[in-house]
Amino acid sequence: MIEAAIISTGDELTTGRTTDTNAGFIADKLLTLGVDVVAILTVGDRPERLRWAWTEALRLAHLVIATGGLGPTADDLTTETIAALFARRLVTDPEVAARIRQLFALFNRPMPDNNLKQAAFPHGAVIVPNPLGTAPGYRLEVGSPADPRHLVVLPGVPREMRPMLVDSVLPWVATLAGDEPIGCRTFQTFGISESGLDEVIATIPGEGRWSFRANFPEVSVRVTVRGRDIAARLDAFAREVYAQLGPYIYGEGDTSMEVEIGRLLCERRLTVGVAESCTGGLVGHRLTNVAGSSAYFRGAIAAYANAVKEEMLGVPRALLERHGAVSEEVAAAMAEGARRVLGVDVAVATTGIAGPDGGSADKPVGTVCIGLAAAAGGTTRRYQLWGTREWVKLLASQIALDWVRRHVLGLPLLEIGRRDPVPAAPGREGVAPG
């Protein structure tokens, strides 16, 4: 097991102007190689702070991965700091310099001289190509041959850093981490809690390291195995995971609920439409986050006012008066209306009380009714959700999307939220009332 430290550099991080997403991304990826992150050190663009970070990081770990400070301006100090700390002279790489000149020419822009700074590397560095920007990264071995330390330096722009890490750095880290093969599979789930997953996973035999990552309202589960027969052992784990958790797993690897729904709808040549009340447009927004969604998504009607539910979706006024807008009856009529007026194969509807006001004893904040209409008929259900307005909207949109997925796959409806609206132990995020 090797250990790593991460350095995140930039005044934007130490002044709170930007949230650091790089360190978490790197830590998560390192974990798939069995590399443990001992610390993340974040400093601004100041020589003495960078020196502190590098000195401490190398004291803590044999592998240090840093992002930021590779830009062309005077406050980008990472390379100078490393060169000075390890007494390496800076060497300009002619190929990198030519590429930077070329990029500026391509965009018809004059190149400021200091941009060539990005072509200078500490002597001995191995360049890590940056397909999406001007500044390549690099790695460098320092220390004694008996106790080598490995430095990796990447740009701070996440869009550039991520492919560089995944395509160039991780395969090299894998060789560092030893000859022992390692592999993993990541299952994306919705509708079951982290502790619920944990209980199920605990019953699965076999040598694997399981980890969870909660990203409300979803949880991903990853299993990492080392040694022999990686593929066969991962397949065996996957069979067990699907056997026990099947309906909760919407995909594997880097994907999302809306991407998976898009794939399913395309495969089966089905179209989808939405009638939204409490989600206000969020379901449509999420469906259209997928490139090419116009192939299956025809439209969404966010009918917030009751008159709009009547006029645009044909929900009978009597139904609204008798059951209230937040009712399974109205959810059913909204879904059926959307299916008709949008001319789609499947329509899903949301109506609920997102809060923080508007609740009653009968229908407290978090009450959400979902409806689905398809050629074979309709289904509705009432859920008791919890949390802030934002959470109720997000969770309602997720359930609506999951209904579409389960409908297409012929799976039973989600049971989440059927439980009492009782918070778990006070003070635990994710389950307390908002």
Alpha carbon distance 51, 331 (integer Å): 61
**Under the criterion CB under 8 A, does residue 14 sit at the interface with a copy of itself?**
yes
Contact window for a copy of itself (CB under 8 A) among 200-208, 245-253, 278-286, 403-411? 278-286
Minimal distance in Å, beta carbon 152 to a copy of itself? 16
Indicate the residue among 287 and 349 with the shorter CB distance to a copy of itself: 287
Contact by Cβ (8 Å): 59, 1: no
Helix (H, G, I), strand (E, B) or coil at 183: strand
Amino acid at 205: P
CB nearer a copy of itself, residue 88 or residue 213: 213
305 binds a copy of itself (CB under 8 A): yes
Beta carbon nearer to a copy of itself, 252 or 310: 310
Nearer to a copy of itself, 19 or 144 (CB): 19
Contacts with 172 (C-beta within 8 Å, 6 or more apart), sequence order: 139
Please list every residue from 329 through 388 that binds a copy of itself, using CB under 8 A: 341-343, 354-357
18 makes contact with a copy of itself (CB under 8 A): yes
Smallest separation, CB 221 to a copy of itself (Å)? 11
CB 416 within 8 A of CB 247: no
| 302 binds a copy of itself per the rule CB under 8 A | yes
Q: How far apart are CA 135 and CA 140, in angstroms?
A: 16
**Using rule CB under 8 A, residue 218 touches a copy of itself:** no
Residue with tokens 């880290």: 173
Please state the closest distance from residue 412 (CB atom) to a copy of itself, in A.
28
Measure the CA–CA gap between 14 and 37, rounded to whole angstroms.
20
140 binds a copy of itself (CB under 8 A): no
Which residue type occupies 419?
Answer: R
User: Which one, 344 or 413, has the nearer CB to a copy of itself?
Assistant: 344
The residue (of 11 and 252) whose beta carbon lies closer to a copy of itself is 11
Are 127 and 94 a contacting pair, CB within 8 Å? no
User: Of the ranges 85-93, 207-215, 240-248, 401-409, which one interacts with a copy of itself (CB under 8 A)?
Assistant: 207-215
Cα 153 to the chain's mean position, in Å?
A: 23
Binders of a copy of itself in range 56-75 (CB under 8 A): 56, 60
Strand-pair category, 346-352 with 272-276: parallel
Which residue's CB is nearer to a copy of itself, number 65 or number 413?
A: 65
207: DSSP letter = S
Residue 293 in contact with a copy of itself, rule: CB under 8 A: yes
Q: Scanning residues 112 to 131, which ones bind a copy of itself (CB under 8 A)?
A: 115, 130
Write out the binding residues for a copy of itself, residues 26-55 only, by CB under 8 A: 26-29, 31, 36-44, 49, 52-53
Q: Which of 309, 345, 346 is nearest to 327 (CA)?
A: 309
Instruction: Identify each DSSP E strand in 10-57 by its residue range.
Output: 36-43
Amino acid letter for position 62: H
Element containing residue 151 per DSSP (H, E): strand 147-154
Q: Residue 82 is encoded by which pair of tokens?
A: 């490393």
By the rule CB under 8 A, 175 interacts with a copy of itself: no
The minimum distance between CB 140 and a copy of itself, in angstroms, equals 22
Q: Does 270 bind a copy of itself (CB under 8 A)?
A: no
